[in-house]
Amino acid sequence: FARAFVRFHGITPSEARRDSSGLRALSRISVKLILNGGKIMDYKIVKKEPFDVLERVEPQSVRDGANLILMFN
């Protein structure tokens, strides 16, 4: 505690008891979250004829340096 007190206030706890003029206080911390975006997208529902699924394809991810590459079998 004493080491952290000195690091924050610059004086020891016993010095602070003698002369409290060098103490600091922190104001209350608050966090604000602002969400932006939500672009409007136009869409329409279209009826299609039934179709058969021939093969199920699952993507595999491969790292190439800082890039992420999706590969499909």
In whole angstroms, give the CA distance from residue 9 to residue 7.
Answer: 6
Mode of pairing for the β-strands spanning 67-72 and 59-64: antiparallel
Task: Quote the pLDDT of residue 13.
Answer: 86
Maximum CA extent, the chain:
87
Q: pLDDT digits over 11-60, tens only?
A: 888 888 887 667 778 788 888 988 888 788 888 888 989 888 777 666 66
Task: Give pLDDT, residue 12.
Answer: 84
Residue 73, pLDDT above cutoff 60: no
